[in-house]
Amino acid sequence: MIYLDHAASTPMRPDAVAAMLPFLAEHPGNPSGSHGASRVAKTALEAAREDVADVLGCEPREVVFTGSGSESDNLAVKAAAWAAHERHTELDGVVVSAIEHKAVLGAAHRLTDSGCRVAEVAATLAGTVDLERLARAIDDRTSVVSVMTVNNETGVVQPLQVVAAIVRERAPHALLHTDAVQAPQWLDIGAATRGFDLVSLSGHKFGGPKGVGVLVRRDGVPLTPLIEGGGHEHGLRAGTQNVAGIVAFASALRFTHDNRDTERARIAMLRDRLEAALADNLGGVTANGDPDLRVEGALHVAIDGVEAETLLVALDGVGVCAASGSACSSGAIDPSHVLLAMGVARERALSSIRMSLGWASTDADIDAAIERIPTVVRRLRERAA
Amino acid sequence: MSRILVAMSGGVDSSVAAALLRADGHDVTGVTLKLWGGPQDSGCCAVSDVEDARRVAAQLDIPHYVFNFSDDFERSVVDPYVLAHATGSTPNPCVACNRTMKWGRLLERSRQLGFDYLATGHHARLVTTANGPRLARSVDAAKDQSYVLALLTESQLSDTMLPLGELTKTEVRAHAARLGLRTAAKAESMDVCFITKGGRQAFLGARVPRAPGSIVTPDGVEVATHDGVDRFTVGQRRGVGVALGERRFVIDVNAHTRTVTVGGRNDLLRDRVHLTDTTILGTPPSRDVVLAAQMSAHGAPVDCTVEGDVVRFAAPQPRVAPGQVVAIYDGDIVLGAGIALSADAA
């Protein structure tokens, strides 16, 4: 199997698997208890929190463990909007980029139920949020602004520091959130998200387990919890912590951070080789978004003359796993809301696929992909009605 | 062994169709079409039917995909359906869907992907005749669905498999139970799939502007008013809303003048129907040959002869609503079909 869907989920790093195993079987303790077994769990949990904080450049108390990136996004966007509204009732504006993950868009739209005004800011063809429109969308009633760090489809890095400056100038009270779920392999999160109040991460995007997320909440940022209960995670997220998953999350994040530069260079060479081979072997293959702004693992292209839905089935048939648009839980593909928000034509959006590389991608994967993908595309083009 | 793409709706029939093809040793792939409904429908296409199809496919250990044809479905099935009702005719959206979606886009994609056949769980048979492949009635007369496939061409039939044609519904359910398919006891879908809440009138009411008009007798005497011709179908009796002391049927709908004409049963009778979009497979039958015409999905076939686009009934029949499909049978074999025109004056 040629796995080119690392942006959807990447394999767990072996060291992360090894780190979590003792907490699945050997150490049963609930970290909230007071006996020896609990102490083992609690110690591991807090060591992981310190490790994560160290990588992210924040304080351990600013790290909130959640159940997923989507949960982190929901906690950040909803809870921040509610908290802002509670403090200053005139704060009712939520501004998000239109290329956000559905977790942010969905959370923002749910807020309209509680009287919030939600503005979605379109992106440019380059794949970055349109900064002029962003500035216009923000006013002194804006409570939350959410712009992702790296787009999950195009891989385009967003100009977060410019966004932060615009928000600080136009809406000093607004809370700044970024969904950094796609970023840890490619960017130093602490530096990239400097000035942001809330940062979402997800374990399974960089070699940790599914079902573990983090929300970094800078000191003093008010939040209303989504899940109430026993006061876990500084009262922000009730529920016994997933100790095994959290330990593995920290392990994978540490490894990713320490090896980032060499991995970026290695993966860039693989990606560039694949992209060049597709361009050489097939006409009509063009990147979506500005290629210079992409992270190294991203290759999102329109392939003229084939429908993405058909192509993905044909690729699956030869063992190549790629993706398109935002597949929802049924697997049906809608034209990518990201591409549409960038102003890409619908037809082009429906002919676009995402190939994404990650830490487990190898030279052999790319060799096989280069051998198989052009053959499949040519066959489909020949048979196109 | 053939490579076969099976359209799996998540119901028992297509589940069994896939299972039987798999058991015969074919290389089977399942596909479910997303045709209708967005976030406001059943929650971002996480529709339980798709889930059922996926789980049956997993049970059969075959790949399963979802194709999102909702744009095309709206354009090729729903919009024409609404337009037809708004203009006083009575479309059959299942026939339209079979032609444009399953044996249209899906068959095209199936061929593009290199599948040898497209299979469905329809209750109809495919038979090989000296003149080529033909569609025939299911052995289960009560469940026969050849009518909704009657407009398929020879080229489409050549690339089709209908594994359930030789089985009764009872046998299909028995297969499903024997195979432990999770869809074995699932209820059948009966109605127009895209009309869920509120029925046809509510669906059309939200899409067709109200346009009041008159309800008149065949002599042109106004007996009542209505708020839109889309509420009426030729042949309809219920809901005509006219208290005249005797049973009244809609005998004509004129969208141009917004006039609905009602009359007695005799006013409804016609000795022929004119067709458009007629597809007859092979050599057209001689005008002397007695054939059978079926005018609705579960209607009884009636004796007829066919000459070009005109179907003559052996005995007068209630008028076929314009837009309805008229399927022509020679015994159990479908010769072809056409769509009823309004020009049917005796």
Lowest mean pLDDT among A3-7, B34-38, B69-73: B34-38
Asked if B293 and B128 count as a contact pair (C-beta separation under 8 A), the reply is no
Give the pLDDT band of residue B40 (cuts 50, 70, 90): very low
- What is the reported pLDDT for A329? 58
Q: How far is A222 from chain B (nearest CA, A)?
A: 32
Q: Would you say residue A40 has pLDDT above 70?
A: yes
- What is the reported pLDDT for B190? 66
Q: Would you say residue B45 has pLDDT above 50?
A: no
- What is the reported pLDDT for A327? 61
Do residue A330 and residue B47 have CB atoms under 8 angstroms apart?
A: yes
- What is the reported pLDDT for A256? 98
Region A157-164: mean pLDDT is 98
Lowest mean pLDDT among A155-164, A331-340, B26-35: A331-340
Region B127-151: mean pLDDT is 95
CB of A382 within 8 Å of a chain B CB? The answer is no
Of A316, A330, A383, the CB nearest to B46: A330
Residues of B in contact with A379 (CB under 8 A): 114
pLDDT tens track for A210-261: 999 999 999 989 888 999 998 899 999 999 999 999 999 999 999 999 999 9
Q: Would you say residue B123 has pLDDT above 50?
A: yes
Q: Would you say residue B44 has pLDDT above 80?
A: no
Q: b/e map of B66-85 (b: 16 or more CB within 10 Å)?
A: bbbbbebbbebbbebbbebb
Q: Would you say residue A85 has pLDDT above 90?
A: no
pLDDT tens track for A249-278: 999 999 999 999 999 999 999 999 999 999
**Strand boundaries in chain B, DSSP class E:** 3-7, 27-34, 64-68, 117-119, 124-129, 132-137, 160-161, 213-216, 222-226, 249-254, 259-263, 269-280, 291-294, 302-307, 310-318, 325-330, 333-340
CB of A316 within 8 Å of a chain B CB? The answer is yes
Of A332, A380, A385, the CB nearest to B66: A332
Instruction: Find the closest chain A residue to B53 by CA distance.
Output: A330
Distance CA A95, CA A138 (A): 7
Do residue A310 and residue B109 have CB atoms under 8 angstroms apart?
A: yes
Residues of B in contact with A330 (CB under 8 A): 32, 34, 44-47, 50-51, 54, 66
pLDDT tens track for A20-30: 999 999 999 99
- Active centre residues of A (catalytic): 328
- β pairing state of A198-202 and A213-217: antiparallel
Average per-residue pLDDT for chain B: 90
Residues of A in contact with B111 (CB under 8 A): 383, 385
Render B82-123 in DSSP notation, one character per residue.
HHHHHTT----HHHHHIIIIIIIIIHHHHHHTT-SEEE---S
Give the pLDDT band of residue B65 (cuts 50, 70, 90): very high
Q: Could you tell me which residues of chain B have a Cβ less than 8 Å from any Cβ in chain A?
A: 29, 32, 34, 44-47, 50-51, 54, 63, 65-68, 108-109, 111-114
- What is the reported pLDDT for B242? 64
Of B66, B112, B114, the CB nearest to A330: B66
Which residues make Cβ contacts (< 8 Å) with residue A19, sequence separation at least 6? A247, A248, A250, A251
- Active centre residues of B (catalytic): 97, 193
Instruction: Find the closest chain A residue to B36 by CA distance.
Output: A332
pLDDT tens track for B209-265: 889 999 999 998 998 899 899 889 998 887 676 666 678 899 999 999 999 999 988
- What is the reported pLDDT for B142? 92
Distance CA B107, CA B102 (A): 6
- Give ipTM to 2 decimals: 0.87
pTM here is: 0.91
- What is the reported pLDDT for B245? 67
Instruction: Find the closest chain B residue to A318 by CA distance.
Output: B113
Region B292-312: mean pLDDT is 94
Percent of chain B with pLDDT over 90: 69
pLDDT tens track for B81-103: 999 999 889 999 999 999 999 99
Region A306-321: mean pLDDT is 96
Residue, of A255 and B342, whose pLDDT is higher: A255
Of B45, B63, B108, the CB nearest to A332: B45
Instruction: Find the closest chain A residue to B109 by CA distance.
Output: A310
Distance CA B121, CA A16 (A): 47
